[in-house]
Structure 1
Amino acid sequence: MTPPLLIDGHLDLAYNAGEGRDLSGSVEALRAADPIAGQRATVTFPELRRSGLRVCLGTLFAMPRTPASPQGYTDAAGARAQALSQLDQYRRWQDAGEIVLLRDRAEVAAHVARPDAPLGVVLLMEGADPLRTPDDLAQWVEWGVRIVGPAWGATRYAGGTDAPGPLTPAGRELVAAMRDLGVTLDASHLDDAAFWDAADLGPRMIASHSNARSLVPGNRHLTDDMACAIAEADGVIGLVYLSRFLRAVPDSVRVPLDALAEHARHYADIVGWDRVALGTDMDGGFGAEKTPLGIETYVDVPAVLDLLPEDARAGVAGGNWARWLTTHL
């Protein structure tokens, strides 16, 4: 039986490379020499190929300065430098034949029809602080960015995770520019006030990696009304493979894989199976030590499909992202 098309809505590939991880070899080799302590890596290019992953939304993620990340950015120039370095990394991977950068719907359609092609990557800017002003957006679009999430925590543009607040005046200007340029807004990480401010401005919307607040409290997750707003904008919602985003458990607890399926079923009950997809965020600040039980490397990602209705599996695996990408990118 031919496995379903697999597409992931959220992978921090270049950020991990910037942290010193070599993604060119096996997971075992990476784990043996991992520069990131305390995380059991799951993602390398060979592992992604073994899983059958064909396309992902690959992030440009600039890390702000925090107590845990003292080398992070403190201003727009620092955020921009990080994002430019990551953009260069994706270009070098493309030159090496590891990936293909995809810029529009026709390129995505052609790419998914080639099962022997390298991993296709659509660029997503996670947190908009690399944009010095909204006027920078057009340049990043020229460089290939097609999706922007205005927030991570709080940014100069929006309230975000654990940082309540609306769109700032610059944020409203940015979202309007995104709408006018056809750039999609990633609602993941937006605080409620910022989410509804953005929705009122009418951009294309997705949630690349967001679970259901009805099942886990906190403003990192989507309310049912938010999920409905994304669906009404013809968007898709990707599911995150982090245990504490699936159930309200301590970081040290790994939940059963059915907890992930429960979020999928919840979204399907609200907006339909055609809006539910994968946004694993694997190795996005956590490794196998915090994934659901049974997810030890990226090749295990499709295991959740066996817990879903048979007629929904292909869509969740990648068909729903493929439909969205070939319609809206």
Structure 2
Amino acid sequence: MKHPLIFDGHNDLLLQIQCGSVSAGEAGFMGAGGRHVDLIKARTGGFAGGFFAIFVPDSGDASFLEEMMPESYDLPLPPAVAWPQAMQTALAQAATLISLERQGALKICRSASDVRSAMETGVMAAVMHMEGAEAIDPDFETLEVLHAAGLRSLGPVWSRPTIYGHGVPFRFPSGPDTGPGLTADGLRLVKKCNEMNILVDLSHLNEAGFWDVARHSTKPLVATHSNAHALCPHSRNLTDRQLHAIRDSDGIVGLNFAVAFLRKDGRMKADTPLARMLEHLDYLIDILGEDRVGLGSDFDGATVPDAIKDVAGLPALRKAMQTHGYGRELMAKLCHGNWLRVLEQTLG
């Protein structure tokens, strides 16, 4: 099953290209790439595109997946990244996305209509996203430049702190109420993003920061790649109260494929059945309604279920959804329609 086409809430391909684990050229992304997302796998799996994250790594990030295996864990977060280093990294990843567009591999989409047009013409649709705003200076000059380059979605934090707020640690079991919320600059950033029609992503924000955004944002609340805390008590997941707020704002939650945020035991083990993903989808639909749930895979940034492996394996998820009883209309909403609705409301 390659249809309905899937528009996805999060991938980390740009980081993988920058780190050298996948090429941006014919032998890599445009050919038979070695990561979760490349053009050949995308055509095989009916992957139409999604949010391409700009993410600033540090030397400690690589071990996080391996360390999320014990019965419980509380991983220390790396320190904040200095602005000059973050800006250099972010601009390099933005340049990679622009280069891929110039090579004809994808289309950087600045509106919902751009996404629709790309999907209709068979071109991969890419919304430029920033996961953690370390590269954004408090005068917002970098934000203006990146917006001109195509940035249309931004998370104020990854899990480590920024000048804008605090993220949740990688902690299990744990709720998301783990510290202070947005700073004064963080509140200014939310207002500026609203003015510029930049989506504010709640994924990775702690609970206090979530509620700061909920109180101050004029746009639908969006968590691009998060799951239900009631089914997996991980700090990264959303409580029922948070889900109700997203519902009331007419926002959306993208189901995260990362197995540690799906499993009851919080372990990053790939032998996680697709049935576990369906349990989260059912739960999210029950609380949010069928118009406010999408997919937010975290491809190229997490361990996903063995039954999927990469974007070429998305037909297995569609088949499981169909067998589970999801009808054609609901499938279309979950796979791309709900994202398009929220992008229309947010990007203008």
Partner of 1:11: 11
Asked whether the equivalents of residues 65 and 72 of structure 1 are also in contact (C-alpha less than 8 Å), the reply is: no
Asked whether the equivalents of residues 32 and 38 of structure 2 are also in contact (C-alpha less than 8 Å), the reply is: no
Partner of 2:52: 58
Q: How big is the shift at 1:148?
A: 0.7
Partner of 2:341: 323
Counterpart CA distance in 2 for 1:73 and 1:223 is: 26
1:185-210 Cα offsets, whole Å, 9 max, x none, are: 10000100011011110242311100
Partner of 2:118: 111
1:245-293 Cα offsets, whole Å, 9 max, x none, are: 1012433452111101111000001011111111101111x3xxx3223
Aligned-partner SS, 1:158: coil
Counterpart CA distance in 1 for 2:125 and 2:198 is: 19
* Residue of structure 1 aligned with 2:86, choices 79, 84, 95: 79
- What TM-score comes out, normalization by structure 2 length? 0.83
Asked whether the equivalents of residues 232 and 266 of structure 2 are also in contact (C-alpha less than 8 Å), the reply is: no
Asked whether the equivalents of residues 25 and 44 of structure 1 are also in contact (C-alpha less than 8 Å), the reply is: no
Counterpart CA distance in 2 for 1:261 and 1:147 is: 27
Counterpart CA distance in 2 for 1:98 and 1:49 is: 12
- What TM-score comes out, normalization by structure 1 length? 0.87
Partner of 1:295: 308
Asked whether the equivalents of residues 94 and 100 of structure 1 are also in contact (C-alpha less than 8 Å), the reply is: yes
Counterpart CA distance in 1 for 2:179 and 2:233 is: 14
Counterpart CA distance in 1 for 2:247 and 2:266 is: 29
Change (3 A) 1:79 1:276: same
Change (3 A) 1:72 1:269: same
Task: List structure 1 segments (4+ residues) > 4 angstroms apart after TM superposition.
Answer: 23-31
* Residue of structure 2 aligned with 1:144, choices 144, 150, 161: 150
Partner of 2:217: 202
Partner of 1:283: 300
The two structures, once aligned, show a CA RMSD in angstroms of 2.4
Q: How big is the shift at 1:131?
A: 0.2
* Residue of structure 2 aligned with 1:129, choices 129, 134, 137: 134
Change (3 A) 1:307 1:273: farther
What are the ranges of 5 or more consecutive residues in structure 1 without an aligned counterpart? 32-40
Aligned-partner SS, 2:81: coil
Aligned-partner SS, 1:281: coil
Change (3 A) 1:315 1:134: farther
Counterpart CA distance in 2 for 1:65 and 1:174 is: 27
Instruction: Report matched runs for 1:10-49 at 5 Å.
Output: 10-20=10-20, 21-22=22-23, 24-25=26-27, 30-31=33-34, 41-49=35-43
Partner of 1:269: 286
Partner of 1:255: 272
Counterpart CA distance in 1 for 2:308 and 2:55 is: 24
Q: How big is the shift at 1:174?
A: 0.8
Asked whether the equivalents of residues 8 and 56 of structure 1 are also in contact (C-alpha less than 8 Å), the reply is: yes
1:312 equivalent in alignment to 2:330: yes
Change (3 A) 1:186 1:134: farther
AA matched with 1:283: D
Q: How big is the shift at 1:68?
A: 4.7
Change (3 A) 1:273 1:46: same
Asked whether the equivalents of residues 252 and 294 of structure 2 are also in contact (C-alpha less than 8 Å), the reply is: yes
1:232 equivalent in alignment to 2:233: no
Aligned-partner SS, 2:300: coil
What number of residue pairs does the alignment pair up? 313
Q: How big is the shift at 1:67?
A: 7.0
AA matched with 1:214: A
Aligned-partner SS, 1:244: helix
AA matched with 1:256: P
Aligned-partner SS, 2:181: strand
Aligned-partner SS, 2:89: helix
Change (3 A) 1:128 1:274: same
What are the ranges of 5 or more consecutive residues in structure 2 without an aligned counterpart? 64-77, 170-177
Counterpart CA distance in 1 for 2:157 and 2:98 is: 25
Counterpart CA distance in 2 for 1:180 and 1:297 is: 36
Counterpart CA distance in 1 for 2:4 and 2:210 is: 32
Instruction: Report matched runs for 1:166-185 at 5 Å.
Output: 166-185=181-200
AA matched with 2:210: F
1:165-218 Cα offsets, whole Å, 9 max, x none, are: 210121111112112222211000010001101111024231110011111113
Counterpart CA distance in 1 for 2:192 and 2:166 is: 18
Q: How big is the shift at 1:25?
A: 4.2
1:8-47 Cα offsets, whole Å, 9 max, x none, are: 111112111001012544799654xxxxxxxxx3222221
AA matched with 1:66: G
1:218 equivalent in alignment to 2:224: no
1:101 equivalent in alignment to 2:101: no
